[in-house]
Amino acid sequence: MTENKGWNFDNSYTRLPDSFYKKTTPTPVSSPKLVVLNESLAKSLGLNPQRLNSEEGTEIFGGNKLPEGSEPIAQAYAGHQFGHFTMLGDGRAVLLGEHLTPEGNRFDIQLKGAGRTHYSRGGDGRAALGPMLREYIISEAMDALGIPTTRSLAVVTTGESIIRETDLTGAILTRVAASHLRVGTFQYAAALQNIEELQTLAEYAIVRHYPEIENDEMRYGNFLYEVVNRQADLITKWMLVGFIHGVMNTDNMTISGETIDYGPCAFMDTYDTKTVFSSIDTHGRYAYENQPRIGMWNLARFAESLLPLINQDEEKAVEIAQNILEEFPKRYEANWLAGMRAKLGLFNEEDEDRELINNLLDLLYQHKADYTNTFRSLTMNRLENGGLFETKPFQEWNKKWQARLDRQEQSREESLELMKISNPAVIPRNHRVEEALTAAKNGDLTVMHSLLNALADPYDYDSIQEEYCSLPEPSNIPYRTFCGT
């Protein structure tokens, strides 16, 4: 018992029908080394960080030793990748099991990059240090921004190289998630054409994520409705901070409403709704402005998988599902408007607010202004530093905004307080993330830790955050991200 690090596994997924997973142990690695451990996350899971920061902890994060109670599996799923349906599954991830916290909350503990599985196809099942640290940094930044996300508990290097275009340092990320149930998990179940198993999966997801509807007579329709709402809320949050997921395939959309799979994602600097960073997204399918529409498209695929459960009469089922899906754009629009109002310090609603907001965004676009820093400057009431703020159209817009602020009963101080909690002072800017990753790959972790420290309090307007406001040097080469496989 002295070896127990507080792991408390209960592996409900292994009690699902066999078709949903394959028992899989992580493939041992030659010499795992801990690169980063998320101490505060460990504590919130009821784990002891000192005990994880040990040889044994590192052996666990490297997949060489199983924590007590783990029953490792690789999960089956399918997905529409750039619009094309494929059977997939965890090709390089192994789920160690579900850890129950002392408060009774259930979290998946998954090793990403843990070796080949039944679903690896031609892949090696491994991951490189850069992309795993990138996921660590950005997922933790998202969490601090208040955006639902999977979390990152640790990254280890494996002591082995992985072969891509060049040899890269192999690494494993320990990912923590409310679950790894995806829209693609339901597509997989639907493709099996076994209604009983589909129903078992739906019941499982409802109990795990939406227990409040467990006993509803219309629970499968309600399940769809709840997922639609969570995804609408999630995607609004992405849009309000300028986050571009980059690979919104249906296998990368969770049932829990958490952001998952930080492959080619990145935050937008200059405001341009057409921004795409992913090197493989040549047609801009997953561009910033397309995210709400793609979210809706993915949810339509989710609805299709649930049709046989929603109603035995297919026509009726389609009608019910369509009505529910229509909630998505409504909820998204309402959320977005509310979020934008808050970003401008507006408490009440006026019909012309949408126009006021869109006029500002148009100005940002025309003057190639930085999205985050513009709202940051408005929040700090620092409109002197040139660029957009010195232009006549902005000054005219500002007069309208000031008049609008005058028409609400709250004071300017109250407005600025609202703006402060609605506009991050810092985001993980691409050039700063790259700088941290380059240093880490060369063995210097201090750059990453300073960045993580600033990102941990994104709504603080202190000097720590200020340091990360600087924009990248102008470049003719657009920033590109890669899937990290």
Chain positions contacting ligand AMP, by CB under 6 A: 88-92, 119-120, 123-126, 247, 251-252, 261, 263, 483, 485
Nearer to ligand AMP by C-beta: 131 or 242? 131
Q: How far apart are CA 117 and CA 125, in angstroms?
A: 7
The binder of 90, among ligand AMP, Mg ion, none, by C-beta within 5 to 8 A per type, is ligand AMP
Beta carbons of 419 and 374 less than 8 angstroms apart: no
Q: How far apart are CA 183 and CA 227, in angstroms?
A: 10
Q: Which residues contact 31 (CB under 8 A, 6 or more apart)?
A: 158, 159
Nearer to Mg ion by C-beta: 77 or 332? 77
The binder of 338, among ligand AMP, Mg ion, none, by C-beta within 5 to 8 A per type, is none
Residue indicated by tokens 């789920």: 95
Question: Does residue 258 touch Mg ion according to CB under 5 A?
Answer: no
Q: DSSP class of residue 370? A: B
Q: How far is the CB of 190 from ligand AMP (least distance, A)?
A: 18
Handedness of CA 154, 155, 158, 159 (dihedral sign): negative
Q: How far is the CB of 445 from ligand AMP (least distance, A)?
A: 24
Task: Pick left, alpha or beta for residue 104 (phi over 0 → left; psi -120 to 50 → alpha; otherwise beta).
Answer: left
The binder of 263, among Mg ion, ligand AMP, none, by C-beta within 5 to 8 A per type, is ligand AMP
Nearer to Mg ion by C-beta: 29 or 88? 88
Paired tokens of 61: 């994060």
> What values do phi and psi take at 112, rounded to 5?
-100, 120
Helix (H, G, I), strand (E, B) or coil at 328: helix
Out of 251, 269, 281, 370, the active site residue is: 251
Paired tokens of 140: 């933790």
Residue numbers 261-290 binding Mg ion by CB under 5 A = 261
Letter for the amino acid at 89?
Answer: G
CB neighbour class for 104 (10 Å; exposed up to 12, middle 13-18, buried from 19): exposed
Q: Which of 139, 252, 278, 291 binds Mg ion (CB under 5 A)?
A: 252
Question: Does residue 143 touch Mg ion according to CB under 5 A?
Answer: no
Nearer to Mg ion by C-beta: 88 or 388? 88
Question: Does residue 135 touch Mg ion according to CB under 5 A?
Answer: no
The binder of 191, among Mg ion, ligand AMP, none, by C-beta within 5 to 8 A per type, is none
Question: Does residue 370 touch Mg ion according to CB under 5 A?
Answer: no
Q: How far is the CB of 257 from Mg ion (least distance, A)?
A: 16
124: annotated active-site residue: no
Q: How far apart are CA 197 and CA 426, in angstroms?
A: 45
Nearer to ligand AMP by C-beta: 173 or 206? 173
What is the set of active-site residues? 251
Which positions touch Mg ion (CB under 5 A)? 252, 261
